A and B are shown apart, each in its own frame.
Chain A
Amino acid sequence: MAVQDEYILVTGGAGYIGSHTVIELINHGYKVIIVDNLCNSCYDAVARVEFIVRKSIKFFKLDLRDKEGLAQIFDTFKIKGVIHFAALKAVGESMKLPLEYYDNNICGTITLLNVMREHRVKTVVFSSSATVYGDATRFDNMIPIPESCPNDPTNPYGKTKYAIENIIKDLHTSDNTWRGAILRYFNPIGAHPSGLLGEDPLGIPNNLLPFLAQVAIGRREKLLVFGDDYDSHDGTPIRDYIHVVDLAKGHIAALNYLNKINNSEGMYREWNLGTGKGSSVFDIYHAFCKEVGKDLPYEVVGRRTGDVLNLTASPNRANSELKWKAELSITDACRDLWKWTIENPFGFQIDNYKWKLFNTLGIMDYKNRLHTICFQDLEVSIANYGALVQAVRYKGRNLVNGFNDFSRYKLKENPFFGATIGRFANRIANGQFEVDGHLYTLCKNENNKTTLHGGNNGFDKQFFLGPIARQYEDYNTLEFILVDKDGNNGFPSDLETLVKYTIKNNSLEIEYKSVIPEYSKLNVTAVNLTNHSYWNLASPNKTIDGTIIKSTTNVYLKVNSETSLPTGDIVEWQNDITKPTKLDPNISFDNCFIVDREASKFCLDTRKYSLKNIVEVIHPSVPVKLVVSTTEPAFQLYTGDGNDICEFQSRSGFCVETGRFINALNNEKWSKQVILRKGEVYGARSKFSLYAQDLEENKHFLDSASYNSGEYY
């Protein structure tokens, strides 16, 4: 395992093989820095890697030819070794743009090696290719191809690999403490079994399986089989196809091999990464058709110039020396590729979705981005920081308080604008709770007496991982994940939380799911999650006064006027808010309303319940209606009195914070709403729906005496 605070630099770590290798590195305990110029890859791959491994990864958008930028990374971090993937890598394209391939691939590598040399980092695993062998069939008895096969690459891409192999070898000759591992791969295929990561099908796929996948989803008409008259078992050529996850593990094996060398020694060695079992075009075709569940159209056409019968690897050297071998089959690869393809038919390209960095001016830090889903009427922007809702624009009008300048969210006056609130929303008396006989003391961030919204370092101040952006027929989703560590703010147990936003043309739904992960040493904790958006239908630059609110409930938790903590009683609100209630400076709320007082009916995971409407909101001069619905037993209604930050003054927005009862932790009757144990799931759903409503309808809303809960729509 890697020593603490030592990093492996992965160049091209956002690419197909690089991203899979980063996952394996982290699973093996390494810390990783990714450097990638993203000219042929997407940062979304890195975001998905973080999501898969549940860890933040240091990422720098950088071209390897930028020597100063690269040196700065080596100055800042202690780098133990480098895995070098960064390169342009399409054989066909390399023949059309040879200078770009030579410049990018060779000159980038030279700069990298120079910076490594200057920083005394001398361990490099290089992503080479079997293309360095050229046509190995020019020799008798050279199939399966061993590492000793003479090199004669036939295209610019292969020549750049050959050149770089030799540069690293010469470097080792000049200074034999360099450690170079050259991994020559055969045909990479497949995808991550999660379905979240795979080869991005930008443009026309170059290789057999990705092309087949495109045929399967209808983006390509048919597969062209270039010759079925070869001397093979079915007449089609044979290649060595290897699952990308096996390839990734080969890199870890090589890195571990290099790391075992004594400090004063070095080495240079090549290894083939292949299965040793060749498959023909029809073998691959049939395996993939089987996964898809139907035959796919193909046409046999003439052989291509330069194609040969069989280019299978001999992986014996890697098998015996690196203790590595390919474990996954063609079937595994086809299954994983098909899962990736159907879940990501356009790869990392998602309709209705765009993102940009969301940083303090001058900073470029990819851990915080602003993700925007755009439909015709509704546009929602959500940031990684706090998984916060930064904007909800309905028909051009932003209905929530938010900042365009990220640094403002960091101000201490920020009253949780748009934020995801956790580990425990609302208040906990005395900043402590007892469960199973253990007393846990939490961060008392409110007047040094109570814990409010999870403490000083709650979910609202953490960078969520992801998101996974997905598109469906008439909605998109964004899934963020946060791992809150055991002991943070005093809460016991590690907690893994998924926040999923579902956005349609007129609604934003928020779903929460929390579990205590298997690796957590403790097995019990407290959870209560909500969203803290401040809504204002009449924004911008107006208060909520004049807004009309109607709720489905008129009962709330009575609180002690001094502590704002519940007394345990559930009582009627002094006025009837099930009738339209106009907000004015004399009407303030910071109260927990009860949707269903029979708390015993509620369980930890409320997601299976149907959404119940809880609040409707209009403004007489605005043709929009907001309807809030939830599966939760309660919501805090808050009118934002006393807020004062930048352009947002007191009563700049109101909150409908759905969740569990206040201080449920310390109330024996209610605590099962919020005590989570390992093996259980906390879950919740809430929805904010927006409707275009003309002013006449608003008038009708005002005239209505009441409506029947549950039957309104």
Chain B
Amino acid sequence: MTGVHEGTVLVTGGAGYIGSHTCVVLLEKGYDVVIVDNLCNSRVEAVHRIEKLTGKKVIFHQVDLLDEPALDKVFANQNISAVIHFAGLKAVGESVQVPLSYYKNNISGTINLIECMKKYNVRDFVFSSSATVYGDPTRPGGTIPIPESCPREGTSPYGRTKLFIENIIEDETKVNKSLNAALLRYFNPGGAHPSGELGEDPLGIPNNLLPYIAQVAVGRLDHLNVFGDDYPTSDGTPIRDYIHVCDLAEAHVAALDYLRQHFVSCRPWNLGSGTGSTVFQVLNAFSKAVGRDLPYKVTPRRAGDVVNLTANPTRANEELKWKTSRSIYEICVDTWRWQQKYPYGFDLTHTKTYK
């Protein structure tokens, strides 16, 4: 497939963590890439890294999806054949503080995007959704590991924007037979590009476990808080499904390939490993990658946390011919490499490295 032109893909939020890794895979597989990103939560440096890693040119537009005329211009000027939609605000904690911003950016932006796709007859659409749409799957009606048929329920403003957007896409595909959509519900992304040149930009205090541990490892945070070690698990800490960002990126391209070959109208796929890991298992793997034990403290459980949120990825395994191929240890090794090389992420004004 390499070297053969596969079409031009518009990647919204393509300068972001998962978006940037997905662009690398797209380019390696022969797609042309157009990135639309407003850079409010990402940096243009990520685009430069994508080009460096692949040796290919990326077309980049600094455009906000809320700016309809600017978005329309991008579609008018590029011969776009598909869209992968990552753009959106995505911190659960922040979304509780400023819910209106999350609803406005995430929902209105998506509606504008779909309107442009309709106008320019772009059929294939991959939406970056989230396992947060399942809410608490341990409530009546849910099952662990979580299949796509699990009833959905947003439990944070961020999670609700994902749920509402899935609804919007699903309802639109019922009447618009020129729209072919994949809803990719992923579990806990982690890791970085194995080159150490691309990873999650650690803006502010990290929201998720792996980036948090990485900050402890470089000494920017003094310890990891473990929220509860009295869950009914092998070591008392909660179980989550961690998935390497490169596996995720490959899943997006697999979904895109699938859409090009199949008209599914609207179909969700879980993207997870199917293997859950506890907090301590992740901490131990990261400590091993770093080469020393990392400090932690056990604190009480957090409201809303549940014991196990592992994915059932069977549908994606079978239909998309995709499965995770990188272990939790590789996630930690790649995160640590990225962290050491760029402790301030894409903020190149800081050149200090960890010794």
Residues of A within 8 A of B (CB): 95-99, 102-103, 106-107, 110-111, 113-114, 117, 155-156, 159, 163, 166-167, 170-171, 173-174
Tell yes or no: B196 within 8 A of A by CB: no
Residues of B with C-beta under 8 A to A97: 175
Which residues of B100-147 have CB atoms within 8 Å of chain A's CB atoms?
Answer: 100, 103-104, 107-108, 111, 114-115, 118
Question: Closest A-chain residue to B158, C-beta based?
Answer: A170
Contact of A167 among B99, B108, B111, B171 (CB under 8 A): B99
Q: How far is the CB of A165 from chain B (nearest CB, A)?
A: 11
Q: How far is the CB of B303 from chain A (nearest CB, A)?
A: 12
Tell me if A106 and B99 are in contact (CB < 8 A): no
Of the A-B pairs whose beta carbons lie under 8 Å apart in the complex, a sample of 26, sorted by A's number, is A98-B171, A98-B174, A102-B107, A102-B164, A102-B168, A102-B171, A103-B111, A106-B103, A107-B108, A107-B111, A110-B103, A110-B107, A111-B104, A155-B171, A159-B164, A163-B160, A163-B164, A166-B160, A167-B99, A167-B157, A170-B95, A170-B103, A170-B160, A171-B99, A173-B99, A174-B98
Tell me if A113 and B111 are in contact (CB < 8 A): no
Question: Closest B-chain residue to A151, C-beta based?
Answer: B153
Tell yes or no: B97 within 8 A of A by CB: yes
Tell me if B160 and A113 are in contact (CB < 8 A): no
Residues of B with C-beta under 8 A to A102: 107, 111, 164, 168, 171
In the complex, A173→B102 CA distance in Å?
14
Q: Which label, helix, strand, loop or mixed, suits the secondary structure of the B interface?
A: helix
In the complex, A106→B111 CA distance in Å?
10
Would you give the 0/1 interface string for B84-97, flagging 1 where the beta carbon is closer than 8 Å to chain A?
00000000000111
Q: How far is the CB of A152 from chain B (nearest CB, A)?
A: 8
Question: Closest A-chain residue to B169, C-beta based?
Answer: A98
In the complex, A174→B164 CA distance in Å?
19
Residues of A with C-beta under 8 A to B95: 170
Tell me if A170 and B175 are in contact (CB < 8 A): no
Question: Closest A-chain residue to B173, C-beta based?
Answer: A98
Residues of B with C-beta under 8 A to A171: 99-100
Interface size on B, residues (CB 8 A): 24
In the complex, A171→B174 CA distance in Å?
31
Q: How far is the CB of B115 from chain A (nearest CB, A)?
A: 6
Q: How far is the CB of B225 from chain A (nearest CB, A)?
A: 23
5 residue pairs, one from A and one from B, having the closest CB atoms: A170-B99, A98-B171, A170-B157, A156-B171, A107-B108
Question: Closest A-chain residue to B160, C-beta based?
Answer: A166
Residues of B within 8 A of A (CB): 95-100, 103-104, 107-108, 111, 114-115, 118, 154, 157, 160, 164, 167-168, 171-172, 174-175
Q: How far is the CB of A113 from chain B (nearest CB, A)?
A: 6
Residues of B with C-beta under 8 A to A166: 154, 160
Tell me if A167 and B172 are in contact (CB < 8 A): no
In the complex, A103→B104 CA distance in Å?
11
Starting from the known contacts A98-B175, A174-B98, 10 additional A-B residue pairs (CB-CB under 8 Å) come to A95-B171, A99-B168, A102-B164, A110-B100, A110-B104, A114-B104, A159-B167, A166-B160, A170-B160, A174-B97
Q: How far is the CB of B250 from chain A (nearest CB, A)?
A: 31
Tell me if A174 and B154 are in contact (CB < 8 A): no
Residues of B with C-beta under 8 A to A117: 100
Tell me if B164 and A106 are in contact (CB < 8 A): yes
Q: How far is the CB of B158 from chain A (nearest CB, A)?
A: 10
Q: How far is the CB of A154 from chain B (nearest CB, A)?
A: 10
A-B CB contacts (within 8 Å), total count: 72
Residues of A with C-beta under 8 A to B175: 95-98
Tell me if A173 and B100 are in contact (CB < 8 A): no
Question: Closest B-chain residue to A107, C-beta based?
Answer: B108
Q: How far is the CB of B14 from chain A (nearest CB, A)?
A: 24
Q: How far is the CB of A105 from chain B (nearest CB, A)?
A: 11
Q: How far is the CB of B66 from chain A (nearest CB, A)?
A: 10
Question: Closest A-chain residue to B167, C-beta based?
Answer: A159
Question: Closest A-chain residue to B98, C-beta based?
Answer: A174
Contact of A99 among B96, B111, B157, B160 (CB under 8 A): B111
In the complex, A402→B14 CA distance in Å?
64
Which of B96, B100, B108, B118 neighbours the largest number of chain A CB atoms within 10 Å of its CB? Answer: B100
In the complex, A406→B171 CA distance in Å?
49
Q: How far is the CB of A121 from chain B (nearest CB, A)?
A: 14
Contact of B108 among A95, A110, A113, A173 (CB under 8 A): A110
Q: How far is the CB of B179 from chain A (nearest CB, A)?
A: 10
Residues of A with C-beta under 8 A to B167: 156, 159, 163
Residues of B with C-beta under 8 A to A155: 171
Tell me if B99 and A99 are in contact (CB < 8 A): no
Question: Closest B-chain residue to A163, C-beta based?
Answer: B164
In the complex, A96→B98 CA distance in Å?
33
CB-CB under 8 A for A167 and B96, given A102-B107, A110-B108: no
In the complex, A174→B99 CA distance in Å?
7
In the complex, A98→B111 CA distance in Å?
10
Residues of B with C-beta under 8 A to A163: 107, 160, 164, 167
In the complex, A12→B128 CA distance in Å?
35
Residues of B with C-beta under 8 A to A170: 95-96, 99, 103, 157, 160
CB-CB under 8 A for A99 and B172, given A159-B164, A171-B99, A174-B97: yes
Question: Closest B-chain residue to A168, C-beta based?
Answer: B99
Residues of B with C-beta under 8 A to A159: 164, 167, 171
Question: Closest A-chain residue to B101, C-beta based?
Answer: A114
Question: Closest A-chain residue to B139, C-beta based?
Answer: A150
Residues of A with C-beta under 8 A to B154: 166
Tell me if A106 and B96 are in contact (CB < 8 A): no
In the complex, A136→B167 CA distance in Å?
20
